[in-house]
Chains A and B, each alone.
Chain A
């Protein structure tokens, strides 16, 4: 197979894969806002229950094995978006990583190669939707003994929803919206789930007596304080402690994590620069601590997802979660909790933060070390590799400096790259490490994935906000939306 490359696999499918057109003319600022938000909202609307799921799903059957990974990938169990944006994000991250490490050979200077690479990314995303759909179908997650019609229908729904999710992301990516579609979806989904957890008004039955409680922790508190069957103390205690629905403790933790990541986002080293063309023009060039933003964490969670899906296939489909089987003994099995969740047992539990801090300390004390170590190591590794391959490495930036006629104060032009090389990889690695420790702490306190998703959501929001600000300034601040909202816009 001389000369055959991995990306050539996409060649026969090139004419078949739907492709969003590149905009003919420049899209205005307002239009971009509308496209971004509408795409993300349609994505949210797609989180709709699947048709064809057996009615008796629930007690005693297969439960959700990846509940603590879901909010990171904006996925919801037994809906069309069972896997959220995971297949899209994972295929993009992994392929770009492999191409950057030259394991997959792509010549990014050639248009043909870039097109093939992009189509391959999309194909692998859709293929993953299909494979994951069937893993879940044959594990019995949608009910045992499904008819052939039901299996086909579930496949069609899950894969079609996946294709639409891919296309929605593509609409934003291609320049109709701001920055990255996957990140826009992630921000909107995180924000929505936060609002639902705190202010959600939907009522759920919580006990046999027909009492109902609101989903939102804050709404629940006000309701409980006014209700007749609870004392003030029990209402307040319940609002902070309930574990069947979101409680105020998690809400405060999430807000805290968001604040910390927003604070870290503004850690930076300011290198002073000067123009090589004109004298006396001095400025600063900031290098952020979070140089790679939330992407390293996203990568760590992609790895976690693969590990847990792999384990789920082995334990549930191969070994039927049977405690006497060899696989169960080697990997650990699942125990059903509240008829909702599948909680992994030792040793799989080493990579699963528990539902509460107390359980973490008493039942799986090792997890605190293994889970944190896993997040830190994988994030830092990714960050250091990614800063080198993503077109923002020290060398790329020194080239940019040269083009714009600037240099670091007190350095010759030739040594700029060397100087930046001392700063950028350290910043990326340290930033990713700090962020990983914060997320691990949050998760070990029992946030069930909400910690990771808020940190990724906030860092993504900052990355997008930066693009939006630049765009706004380039458009000369001519935005009807900004005027309506009364915002001076791009304030920082």
Chain B
């Protein structure tokens, strides 16, 4: 029975190097989507657009809903104005 390989030495070094290069490769590979990076976003069957908060003009969701309804009524008003004045455009 041959003696076991001594600890350390060539083999272990090689193994370590291999493990290191695999790790490097994994780190270099940038994720292809925000879900792959682990931050929510579209999954295989759900299309998501907005998951992060960018530094834009922040608005409250309720404000969005009310403004949207307000916008529709302003279009209604536009119709009324067009009708009353006969010919607006």
Contacts and interface: CB of A to CB of B under 8 A. Distances in A.
Question: Are A and B in contact, CB atoms below 8 Å, in the complex?
Answer: yes
Nearest to A46: B72
A324 interface: no
B34 A52 contact: no
Interface residues of chain A: helix, strand, loop or mixed (majority):
helix
Contacts of B30: 102, 106-109
Contacts of B57: 15-19
Majority secondary structure, B binding face: loop
A30 to B, nearest CB: 15
B10 to A, nearest CB: 24
Interface stretch (B1-9, B13-21, B58-66): B58-66
B79 to A, nearest CB: 5
B52 A118 contact: yes
Nearest to B55: A14
A388 B32 contact: yes
Contact of A42 (B46, B48, B65, B75): B65
Among B44, B48, B68, the most chain A Cβ lie within 10 Å of the Cβ of B44
B59 A153 contact: no
Given A96-B33, A107-B30, A108-B37, A295 B45 contact: yes
Interface residues of A, number: 86
A470 to B, nearest CB: 12
B52 A115 contact: yes
Nearest to B78: A51
A49 B82 CA distance: 13
B35 interface: yes
Interface stretch (A240-248, A277-285, A325-333, A390-398): A390-398
Interface stretch (A85-93, A309-317, A444-452): A85-93
B88 interface: yes
A416 interface: no
Contact of A161 (B39, B65, B71, B79): B71
B35 A39 contact: no
27 contacts: A15-B56, A18-B57, A19-B54, A19-B59, A20-B64, A42-B72, A45-B69, A46-B72, A50-B75, A51-B79, A80-B72, A92-B49, A101-B32, A102-B30, A107-B30, A108-B31, A108-B33, A109-B31, A115-B52, A117-B34, A167-B59, A167-B68, A168-B65, A169-B50, A171-B61, A298-B47, A391-B34
Interface of B: 30-37, 39, 41-61, 64-65, 67-69, 71-72, 75-76, 78-79, 82, 88-89
